[in-house]
Structure 1
Amino acid sequence: MIPNNIMTKKFIKTIVGSLLATGLLLTDAVAQQTPAPKQTRAISIEGATAHLGNGQVIENSLIMFDKGKITFVGSANARIARQGEIIKATGKHVYPGFIAANTSLGLAEIDAVRATRDFDEVGTMLPHIRSIIAYNTESRVVETMRPNGVFIAQVTPRGGRISGTSSVVQLDAWNWEDASVKLDDAIHINWPSIFTRGRWWLGEVSDLKPNKQYPVAVNQLKDFFQRAKLYLQGDRTAVNLPYEALEQVFKGRKKVFVHVNGKKSISDAIHFFKKLGINSVVIVGGHEAEQVASLLSTNNIPVVLKRAHRLPTKEDEDYDLPFRSAKILTDAGILVGVGMSGDMERMSTRNLPFYAGTYGAYGLGKEKAVQLITGNNAKILGIDKQMGTLEVGKDATLFISEGDALDMRTNILTKAYIQGRALSLDTHQTKLWKRYSNKYKNQ
């Protein structure tokens, strides 16, 4: 007979081995695919229609890049030696990688599971909270962005009066350090609402009514910024992290993204920061921004609009006003981008190009719609020297599509690159699609 202790050891060894094997299989099944290696060979894309991201288009283009940087942008008729691998893309389209502003992408995985949600911290005034620390490069939601051409995102916290600090990331990385494109680009403030609704769960009437606490909330913000200013001008003996986080804001090196809607609220917010001497302000949401367009234009304040697919908020508004808002603001000389806050925002971020396409279809035009999520968003986020347009010297963050990338019927990517690295376009969703396509194809 085998001694009990030996049998016990064998049993434990067998169980541990089985668990490890199962764990490895599960890890392989659910983990993000391995990030692409650095570019080692030059690439030339020839014959495609190039949408540069600045409103310009080059038919029959030649785009070349090496070591992660674009080295040539021009006509395929140019007498210039092609470099490295030559990709024939006649009949296809080349775009800069799309940039999603104002999204909590990578900060939560499953809305119904609290442990996976890391976008909202406890507290009210939290400018020192950094979203980048919580960004999850292994998110299965993040990988679903790439097949639609969304390669860059401004990872933004939510909640509180001052939610925290966002950062800009690229969506193919091992960890947040690798992902970072621009660290701590802006703080995000949720401007108080002028109106409020009754709490239905307490039996109150749910109709809109003036918010009596509006001036109180504005004064609290004012007091916070004034105290921070005094602190930063003092000796800072006792360190105050929230106040420290505002130093770069007062110096103009970090932007303030004000999440605000309504004509009066937007106007109040603009004057509020102007009095504080803070000029790097961006309006986010911007419902009724068209009613204060001259004020926005005069103060050179960009607007990050919500998704186009939303309803009017007032009974007397045109049904298509949300679709036309980008056109109205652009015509007024305002720099306009597109953000992703709202219901199902992380999953819906992959639809960014189609929201831009709706803005394009309602007066803005296709190339200016492309600008919303490329060159414009890059300028608003302060990364336009590095990416956002197809220009020599910028990062080779781009893709080839079989058709119009703003149309969900034809936005079919064949090649994609971030900083010159060739991306995998496989995701959990594409694997399931292929699996079940084959099932029904064989029946």
Structure 2
Amino acid sequence: VMGGECIAIKTYGKRIDKMVIKNPVASKIAFGENPKSCYGRDEKMPQTRMAIAALLREHLKKAEEYLEQIELYMEHEDHDKPEYDMKMESLLPVLRGEIPFKVHAHRADDMFTAIRIAKEFDIKLTLDHCTEGHLIADELAEEGYPVIVGPSLSERSKIELRNLTFDTPGILSNEGLQVSLMTDHPVIPVQYLPICAGIAVKHGMKKEKALEAITINPAKTLGIDERVGSIEVGKDADIVIWDNDPFELQSNVLVTIIDGKIVYEK
């Protein structure tokens, strides 16, 4: 149910420590068939969607109590310091509102469960995959959480993908939501992200919004838009130059620039 912390990195470099943009950038949790199928087949919890929600609530409540003990220790010298717990420590940035939960959720009911829990604990979240988002677009627009749609260029490999469609990004964008697109690499190799954006345009997404969905919107969603996501004075010089419209299948990358250095040239 809880996968761990996420990190944002550049896609080029010799040493990962020097490629980091922000760490941590989010914390990953999962709803639906993935945790069910992973543990249920071994007759372990969680085997149901109710159990997924219960486990998440239980650990968030424990983390809240852990945080309370830390704060009491910081405020009162005579209060015992709680025993260090790495799992609880990883949830503190979430509870403090410093980073969001990245919520793996395909079905509408899973997204509503995630939103319900986020409100209970006053935490931020992003809705990742959002496969049935088009079915509840008005409700998601009312809530206003960032959505990350994809992978759409794939088969319906599990039952919760039965409503998979390339119409989703456009419908959500037209409702005013901050939409990003993903390929769920390596499910769909990340180099096909511009093609997925082009198909989304074909299915009703405005072209400018599709470009935002693979540039500035992901940066905003991850809280790194002060450095990347658009070409502006003061930001990292991360630029790609194409020989044609990047949404067209025949287009090629001519030059890739990261941190002001040419790292690829055709």
With the shorter chain as reference, the TM-score category is 0.7 to 0.9
* 8 Å contact from structure 1 (residues 284, 304) kept in 2: yes
- Using the size of structure 1 for normalisation, the TM-score is 0.52
Identify the match of residue 341 of structure 1 among 184, 187, 205. Answer: 184
- Measured on the aligned residues, the alpha-carbon RMSD in Å equals 2.8
Tell me if 1:260 matches 2:100: no
User: Pairwise mapping of residues 48-127 of structure 1 onto structure 2 (< 5 A)?
Assistant: none
* 8 Å contact from structure 2 (residues 31, 49) kept in 1: no
Distance (Å, rounded) in 2 between the aligned partners of 1:184 and 1:401 = 32
Question: Which residue of structure 1 aligns with residue 205 of structure 2?
Answer: 364
Question: Which residue of structure 2 aligns with residue 165 of structure 1?
Answer: 5
Distance (Å, rounded) in 2 between the aligned partners of 1:418 and 1:314 = 37
Distance (Å, rounded) in 1 between the aligned partners of 2:199 and 2:257 = 26
Tell me if 1:281 matches 2:122: no
Question: Which residue of structure 2 aligns with residue 301 of structure 1?
Answer: 145
Give the letter aligned to residue 323 of structure 1: F
Identify the match of residue 218 of structure 1 among 30, 36, 53. Answer: 53
Give the letter aligned to residue 255 of structure 1: P
Distance (Å, rounded) in 1 between the aligned partners of 2:33 and 2:162 = 23
Question: Which residue of structure 1 aligns with residue 234 of structure 2?
Answer: 393
Deviations 1:15-67 (A, max 9, x none): xxxxxxxxxxxxxxxxxxxxxxxxxxxxxxxxxxxxxxxxxxxxxxxxxxxxx
Question: Which residue of structure 1 aligns with residue 77 of structure 2?
Answer: none
Question: What SS does the aligned partner of 2:3 have?
Answer: strand
Cα deviation for residue 292 of structure 1 reads: 2.5
Cα deviation for residue 293 of structure 1 reads: 2.2
Structure 2: segments with no counterpart, 5+ residues: 71-80
Cα deviation for residue 356 of structure 1 reads: 1.1
Change (3 A) 1:337 1:418: same
Cα deviation for residue 425 of structure 1 reads: 3.8
Question: Which residue of structure 2 aligns with residue 405 of structure 1?
Answer: 246
Distance (Å, rounded) in 1 between the aligned partners of 2:181 and 2:118 = 22
Identify the match of residue 229 of structure 1 among 44, 60, 64. Answer: 64
Tell me if 1:269 matches 2:114: yes
Choose between structure 1 and 2: higher helix proportion: 2
Question: Which residue of structure 2 aligns with residue 247 of structure 1?
Answer: 92
* 8 Å contact from structure 1 (residues 308, 358) kept in 2: no
Question: Which residue of structure 1 aligns with residue 16 of structure 2?
Answer: 176
Question: Which residue of structure 1 aligns with residue 165 of structure 2?
Answer: 322
Tell me if 1:331 matches 2:174: yes
Cα deviation for residue 408 of structure 1 reads: 2.4
Cα deviation for residue 298 of structure 1 reads: 2.4
Cα deviation for residue 193 of structure 1 reads: 4.3
Change (3 A) 1:175 1:367: same
* 8 Å contact from structure 1 (residues 163, 187) kept in 2: yes
* 8 Å contact from structure 2 (residues 138, 175) kept in 1: yes
Distance (Å, rounded) in 1 between the aligned partners of 2:217 and 2:246 = 17
Of the two structures, which has the highest relative contact order with CA contacts closer than 8 Å and spacing of 6 or more? 1
Distance (Å, rounded) in 2 between the aligned partners of 1:227 and 1:355 = 40
Question: What SS does the aligned partner of 2:204 have?
Answer: helix
Structure number, greater radius of gyration: 1
Question: Which residue of structure 2 aligns with residue 421 of structure 1?
Answer: 261
Identity %: 24
Distance (Å, rounded) in 2 between the aligned partners of 1:192 and 1:325 = 19
Cα deviation for residue 273 of structure 1 reads: 1.3
Distance (Å, rounded) in 1 between the aligned partners of 2:176 and 2:144 = 9
Cα deviation for residue 309 of structure 1 reads: 1.3
Give the letter aligned to residue 356 of structure 1: A
Deviations 1:233-281 (A, max 9, x none): 1044310011011111111111110101111111111011111111x21
User: Pairwise mapping of residues 18-33 of structure 1 onto structure 2 (< 5 A)?
Assistant: none
Cα deviation for residue 366 of structure 1 reads: 2.4
Give the letter aligned to residue 289 of structure 1: G
Question: What SS does the aligned partner of 1:400 have?
Answer: strand
Matched residues, number: 249
Distance (Å, rounded) in 2 between the aligned partners of 1:314 and 1:180 = 34
